[in-house]
Amino acid sequence: MYIVTASEMQQMDKSTIDFGLPGRVLMENAGCGAAQILLERFCANSIKKVGILAGRGNNGGDGFVIARRLAQKGIDVNVYLLAKASLVKGDALENLKLLYPLEIPVFEITERKSFIANQIIMRDRDIWVDAIFGTGLKSNIDGNIKDVISFINSLEKPVFAVDISSGIDSDTGQIHGECIRADVTATFGYAKIGHYIYPGAEYSGEIEIVDIGIPNIIADKIAPKQSLLKHERICSILKPRRKDAHKGSTGHVLVIGGSPGKTGAAAMTALAAMRAGAGLVTLGVPKSLHNVIESSTLEVMSCPLVENSEGFLSESSFDAVMHNVTGKKCLAIGPGIGTDPSTKKLIIRLLCEIELPVVLDADGLNLLAGETNELKKLKSPAVLTPHPGEMSRLTGKTVLQIQNNRVACAREFAAEYNVHLVLKGAGTVIAHPDGSVFINSTGNSGMASGGMGDILTGIIAGFIAQNYSAEDAVKLGVYLHGAAGDDLSESMGPFGFLASDMLKILPAQIGIHSIKSFGD
């Protein structure tokens, strides 16, 4: 499902108008479609009193169309215009004019005095429609409009947003000063990035998409580079497993990780690769940890590697790792590996010389800080899975800078270094080297616990080992990881479930999203 930037949506609108569908018609389609959703969601059982907050631009124009459509259904509608009527122009003005002969009350609220004067009648409204600002908002909301938004939020009445909640940056999901908190958003043409990136997602409520008449040929020509990762795409990617499959045909993963006090991370990555369907997994760890790994991971093969005096892997392990690469389909590096300088030399050398798809996570990413140009020497596809802190160390940007524009940050890094990047967090962002971006629709805050990232690394590596492209393996891994977390949240509670719990239910999640096997 396409997700668009404000610029892409503007291009589509303009191209549609040039195609021959006037802006007035697009506004009518938008307002009528939104009104229908509002009626179905909020007004099905009884007549309601609706208040519409309108700005002076096209978003306000959409609100005027909604007001007219609701009034024609016999619903009591008041419009609160947060600007002087004389400032309304174009198609929005034409729709404002249509309200007066229908005797729909329009109250101008342009300063604090008029706002205070209207608060009593505003409190009497049962439902609120937010049609103040659209996707073009880039500056902070302040003054009278900020006060009105705070007031509406304080009423705790149902709120219906038109296109996007006023206050959300359409391209980043950031909040510009104050923001309407919607229960439902009716968005036009295509959903926007800000609907799914936090904190914007928190203010958007449920997203309903209204078809306003943009021809598919125009959307396909503009070809937005962002999509929402959903169930349907995962089902289309997952391939049926042959009934004559055996462990040698379903891929072998090599995991390199572990250090004193961090054996669990490497072990969970190895087990997750098997739960994702890899036929074989070998786990290479410092030799002093080998006995611990052998006794804790029964199905995983293990390989003791040379360590330094502190128990960390070092460059001396390089030859042994390269020997073990033979016959493997994917290398996962980093879980629990530590940040010793000698380990850094090992990882950089492996990245430069190995001819095998690589998944790099955790301390493997931290060790790469300051050495990201080494990624340009990669001979095979690479997947990096940083959380914002690790991304900060990789890029030199602050965590705040990264979180303020997650999509752009991930896209730029993936393109510059020709890697597949998974920027973890609420609304995980997947960026591919070609500039395409996917925002994940699964996952929850209960997954904010130790080991979850190690599981994700193993899942992605497990799918690569089964001959999925790195691009597809990333989508499968991120989505199914989140779906398993959602399953645990529903069955066990909103938090307190463990990464090890996820290992147990992952095969069931794969099954839910799989098509039938050959021969069925």
This prediction's pTM = 0.93
- The full set of domains in the chain, from first to last, is 2-224 (3.40.50.10260), 251-512 (3.40.1190.20)
Q: Cα 207 to the chain's mean position, in Å?
A: 14
pLDDT, tens only, 444-491: 999 999 999 999 999 999 999 999 999 999 999 999 999 999 999 999
- Residues in the chain predicted with pLDDT less than 50, given as ranges, are 516-520
pLDDT of residue 373: 95
Strands 429-431 and 437-440, sheet pairing: antiparallel
Joined together, the tokens standing for residue 296 give: 């804790």
Best CA proximity match to 64, nearest among 91, 99, 22: 99
Q: Centre a 10 Å sphere on the Cβ of residue 41 and count the other Cβ atoms it contains.
A: 16
Which phi-psi region, left, alpha or beta, contains residue 476 (left: φ > 0; alpha: ψ -120 to 50)?
Answer: alpha
What secondary structure, in 3-state letters, does 101-118 show? Answer: CCCCCEEECCCHHHHHHH
pLDDT of residue 1: 82
Q: What span, in angstroms and rounded, lies between the C-alpha atoms of 235 and 232?
A: 5
Amino acid at the residue 132: I
Burial class of 443 by CB neighbour count within 10 A (0 to 12, 13 to 18, 19+): buried
pLDDT of residue 78: 98
pLDDT of residue 515: 61
Strand order in the sheet with 127-131: 106-108, 76-81, 49-54, 127-131, 159-162, 184-188, 206-210
- The whole-chain average pLDDT of the chain stands at 95
pLDDT of residue 296: 78
pLDDT of residue 162: 98
Amino acid at the residue 330: C
